[in-house]
Amino acid sequence: MKRLVIILSLMLLIACSSAHDNDEKEHKDVSSETPTIDNIHTDKDIKIIENETLEKITNEYITSEGYRVIEYEDGYTTTFSPEGVLAIVKTPQSVDFTKYDYNLEELPQEEGTEFFHDLRSRDLTRIDLSNELDYLLTADFDDDTKWPSSVPKEYDIEKIKEYGMDPGLGIRKLHEKGITGQGVGIAIIDQSILVNHVEYKDSIKLYEEIHINSDSAAMHGPAVVSIAVGKSVGVAPEADLYYIAETHGVYMEDGFDWDLYWIAKSIDRIIEINEALPVDKKIRVISISLGIDNPERKNLELVKEAINRASNEGIYTISVGNSLMGTGRKPLADPNDLSSYTKGHFWRDFDNYRIKRNILVPMDSRYVASPTGNDKYVFYYSGGMSWVVPYTAGLYALCSQVNPNITPSEFNSAIYNTATKVHLDDTNDEYNILNPEGLINKIKGK
């Protein structure tokens, strides 16, 4: 089983594949709970790009629930809602990492992770942690981690969780004023999720799958959803979520074969869904935690064309890049205190010239929805750019709520004009950190 966090450059995301759970979950049909809309698609024409080379269909059928299922030669499957309905077409299973041999005699020292450590779902009860504070302060853990009685008193796990859930920078003060993203649609394209997770189950309006080959939730999807729209973690906790689970390529014997064709197809599916939504419930932003502008990835031009089509429909697509960068934060530092922020974990040793021109967004030390259960969470010491994208998408939803006429260019200009200058270390270097309250005030004044 691969459980990796790969952070290779300023513009790459974390990627992690997840194990399958043997527990069977009851399938949830929510079509009766969601509004009926007209002309989402017809059986003859999905209005999304076709590619004879990639899309080699071996089987196509309609299930008893009315879902349209397309099976491909490579073993992957696409599942759409019934015609005229927004539906959750599948309930992916949770994963159980505790079934692996994680009963440890000593703390793991994993190659390549000397600055952060994976304690998720591990049994630490046989280990003396009394002198391991420095190690623990750079560790990932989840609700299934078993702790010994020797945890240092300075390592306040509950406080770490509390701070990790808070989006920080005064976002919750905006929520108290009713600025929650209510009525605004956010679309996310990412890995499979637990559709019934308590963090976001009340926000999800649609869950479909494009080119998927797993029945289990993955690590990545639940995290990005909770950062965008989670009721406790999210920037826009009352926004409407439209989710496309997608796999951009296939796993080969010699590694992952990246192909952005399926991202393009997912964007076009979102456009199609949006066309049928009421005027006051439109999707305003798409969150894609992937570095798209990589010339080595296949079908890059198809994605750019799809993004342009979305833009023409008033939908802003945010991906890794977009002149954004993530900040670090020590686990026990208050996320609403500007002095708590540091250089992001993965870029702290990089040349800072370009980063000084970017807008910094909270990234590290987040406690987010876990794929291990509908009421379980996980703490990630190092977030990666994947966490920055849904945060910014949630912020765009807040701006769209207070000013429905906001455009991406106005949003980006306002972010720069309202950013706060900060020092992230003991040098004189200045960085631009997001100022949510100032941004909202600027947008409301337009």
Q: Could you read off the pLDDT tens digit of each residue along the chain, which spans 446 residues?
A: 333 333 333 333 333 333 333 333 333 333 333 333 333 333 334 344 445 446 789 999 999 999 999 999 989 999 999 988 999 999 999 999 887 766 788 888 765 555 568 999 999 999 999 999 999 999 999 999 999 999 999 999 999 999 999 999 999 999 999 999 999 999 999 999 999 999 999 999 999 999 999 999 999 999 999 999 999 999 999 999 999 999 986 666 666 677 899 999 999 999 999 999 999 999 999 999 998 887 878 899 999 999 999 999 999 999 998 788 999 999 999 999 999 999 999 888 876 677 888 999 999 999 999 999 999 999 999 988 999 999 999 999 999 999 999 999 999 999 999 999 999 887 788 999 999 999 999 998 85
Q: Residue 446's pLDDT is what? A: 58
For residue 5, tell me if it sits in a domain: no
CATH number at residue 301: 3.40.50.200
The whole-angstrom separation of Cα 284 and Cα 296 is 29
Residue 221 carries which side chain, given as an amino acid letter? Answer: G
Q: How many domains does the chain have?
A: 1
Beta bridge partners of 324: 359
Would you call 190 a catalytic residue per the annotation? yes
395 is a domain residue: yes
Active-site option among 220, 240, 259, 266: 220
Question: Environment class of residue 301 by beta-carbon count within 10 Å: exposed (0-12), middle (13-18) or buried (19+)?
Answer: exposed
**Residue 89 backbone dihedrals phi, psi, to 5 degrees:** -85, -10
Residue 69 lies in a domain: yes
Read off the DSSP letter of residue 221. Answer: H
Q: Is residue 45 part of a domain?
A: yes
* 27 neighbors 92 (Cβ within 8 angstroms): no
pLDDT of residue 325: 92
The H or E element spanning position 257 is strand 255-258
How far apart are alpha carbons 215 and 20 in whole angstroms?
Answer: 8
Phi, psi for residue 165 in degrees, rounded to 5: -80, -25
282 occurs within a structural domain: yes
Which one of the listed residues 190, 240, 259, 364 is annotated catalytic? Answer: 190
Task: Please indicate, yes or no, whether the overall pTM of this predicted structure exceeds 0.85.
Answer: yes
**Is residue 148 one of the residues assigned to a domain?**
no
Sign of the C-alpha dihedral, residues 206, 212, 217, 222? Answer: negative
Please indicate whether residue 29 is annotated as part of the active site: no
Segments forming the whole domain that contains residue 412:
34-94+166-444
The residue whose two tokens read 């209005």 is 47
Of the candidates 232, 287, 319, 386, the residue annotated as catalytic is: 386
Gap between the Cα atoms of 171 and 13, Å rounded: 24
Give the chain's radius of gyration (CA, Å).
21
- SS3 letters across 87-101: CECCCCECCCHHHCC
Contact 2, 75 (CB under 8 A): no
* Assigned domain for 115 exists: no
Q: Is residue 97 a contact partner of residue 372, using CB atoms and an 8 Å limit?
A: yes
Q: Is residue 387 part of a domain?
A: yes
| Cα separation, 167 vs 164, whole angstroms | 8
